[in-house]
Amino acid sequence: MLPEGGLRIVALGGLGEIGRNMAVFEYDGRLLVVDCGVLFPEPDQPGVDLILPDFEYIRDRLDDVEAVVLTHAHEDHIGAVPYLLRERRNIPLIGSRLTLALIEAKLTEHRIQPTKVEVVEGERHTFGPFDCEFLAVNHSIPDALAVAIRTPAGIVLHTGDFRMDQLPSDGRLTDLGGFARLGTEGVDLLMSDSTNAEVPGFVTSEREIGPVIDEVIRTSEQRVIVASFASHVHRIQQVMDAAAKHRRKVALVGRSMVRNMGVARDLGYLKVPPDLIVDSRDIEEWPPKDVVLICTGSQGEPMAALSRMANRDHPIRIAEGDTVLLASSLVPGNETAVNKVINGLTRWGARVVHKGNAKVHVSGHAAAGELLYVLNLTRPSNFMPVHGEWRHLRAHAKLAALTGVPEDHIVIAEDGVVVDLVDGRAKIVGAVHAGYVYVDGSSVGEITDTSLKDRRILGDEGFISVVVVVDSNTGKLTAGPEIHARGSGIDPMQFDEFIPQIQRALEEKAADGVVDMQEIRRVVRRTVGRWVSDTYRRRPMIIPVVLEV
C-alpha cells in the first residue's frame, strides 16, 4: 500500500526502450498520467502495426485519472492516446497548442472528440491533488514542455524530451532559468530524458542543418525527395525555405505528412511562402529540376511513401539523377530496413544523402554535457532516468552520481516497477505487469507472444500439414496420410517415401488401443517432426489434421 502522504510513480513504458512513454503518478487515491505513446515493431514482431502500453494497471481506476499531460506531439508520446480514450473518453488532455491540435487531428480518425486543456510555458494548473507547472523545452518539434508536479510529497520535475539548442530555428529556448528556480525551491525527484546520455558534449544547433539542405537542393539537377518524420516541423520549414529560395515547387506526400503540416501551417508554426505548395497528383506536370517532394518513410517503414518508391510500388517513380535526402536520425532497430530502402533507391539511379554522409540531421535529445548542466541546475534529492534503453539509463545514472546525487538516491527502474517518494526518499517498492499490447489491423491485444512465435516459425521454416482419417472406435487408419507443405524447402516427392513411417506409428498406437484424437495428433506431429529434423535439420510448423469416421 502507498503510505499516507506518499507519491507513487509507475512507468508503463519508456524504460529500457525507445518509445511507449507513459508514466502514472498517484497521490491520495488520484492519478495523473504523463504521456501515452506507442512503440514501433521490430522485424521479429511480424504483422504488428503498433505496440501500446498495457493499461491493465489503471483499467479499474480510470475514474481516478485526473488528466493526461502530453509533453509534446511525437508518436512515442501521444500515439496510444486514442486507445486509452476508447476506455474512458472524457479524460482531460493537457498540452500545448500544437500538441493538442495534432492529437485532435489523430483522434478525429478514431471518431473521438477529446476534452482539452491548452497550457503554455510559465503557467500553473491544478488537477486534483497535482499542481502542475509547465516549462518550455527545446526539442525537434515545436511547443514541447517539461512539467513540474507538486504534491505534499514533494516536487517531481519531468523534463519530457528536450535538448539545449542555444540557436533554435524558432527562437524558443529550454527554460534553464525555470529549472534553476525549481532547483532552489528543491526538486525531490528529477525524471530526465536519457536518449543521448552516452553522447559526450552538446548537440549541434538546428541552424547548422539549414545550409546543408540548401546546398543539396541547389546542386541537384533533377527532383529532390526529402524523407522526414511527419512531425518534424522545423526540418520541413528548412526544406521549404530552401525550395522557395531555388524556385522549386513543394509537394507533400503521405497522409500523416499532409495532415500534420496542414495543422502546423494553420496554427502559424509552419511559414509557407505563397504558391509554393502543389498537389502531389500534379507533380508530373512540373520539370524535375523544379520539384521538391517531402514524404514519410525515413525509418524504412514498409508501407510509407519512400519504401514504396524504392520498391517501384508508388505512383512517383524514382528516376536516374533524382536526389533523396533522409533528413532524420536512425531509430535503433531500423538499420536493416533503412539500408534496404537506400539500396533500392540507389538501384534506380538516385543519389541518397543521409546522416552517414552529410550533416542533414541533429538529434532532438540532450547529450551528456547538457544532461550534466540540468542535473547541476536542479540539484535533485533523488534521480530517475527515463526515456531510453538500458545502456542510456545506466549512463545517465552515472552522470547523476558525478554531480553528487547519492548512489542510493538514484533509481534505475524498468517498465512496471513501482517507485514511491516518501519523506523525501524515492525507493523501489514492487512491480506491476506492464507488458506489450499489440495492435494488428483492427485487433488490439488479441495478438500474443505465442502468436508472434508461430508467425516467426512460419516465416522462417514454413509449415507441413498432415491429414489422416481414423476409425473412431478402433483408432485404425482408414485413409491417408495426405501431406501438404508450404515454405518448408522439402521436396514433395520425399513424402512418398516417408508416409509408411506415419502409417506404422499409427498402427502401433491402434494396436495399443489408443483412440484418443489428441494422442493420435501428437503421434503424427512427433513422427513428422523427428523425420524432418533428422533429414533436413529444419523445424517447420507441423499441423496434424485427424478426421474421424
365 is in an annotated binding site: yes
The span from the CA of 352 to the CA of 379, in Å, is 45
Residue 491 has phi, psi (to 5 degrees) of: -65, 120
Residue 367: beta bridge partners?
A: 196
Residue 206 CA to residue 362 CA, distance in Å, equals: 6
How far apart, in Å, do the first and last CA atoms of the chain sit?
Answer: 59
Nearest to 360, CA basis, from 251, 272, 228: 228
- 203 to 140, 168, 464: CA distances (angstroms): 12, 11, 54
Q: Which of 38, 293, 30, 55 is nearest to 153 (CA)?
A: 30
169 is in an annotated binding site: no
- Residue 486 CB coordination number (10 Å): 11
Is 77 annotated as contributing to ligand binding?
no
Whether 361 has a binding-site annotation, put simply, is yes
- In whole angstroms, give the CA distance from residue 53 to residue 440: 15
- What is the Cα–Cα distance from 37 to 20, expressed in whole angstroms? 4
State yes or no: 72 annotated in a binding site: no
Contact 116, 104 (CB under 8 A): yes
Question: In a 10 Å sphere around its CB, with 0-12 CB exposed, 13-18 middle and 19+ buried, how is residue 22 labelled?
Answer: buried
Polymer length in residues for the chain: 549
Q: Give the span between the Cα atoms of 64 and 210, in whole angstroms.
A: 47
Q: Which of 202, 194, 203 is nearest to 396 (CA)?
A: 194
Binding residues for substrate: 361-365
Binding residues: 361-365
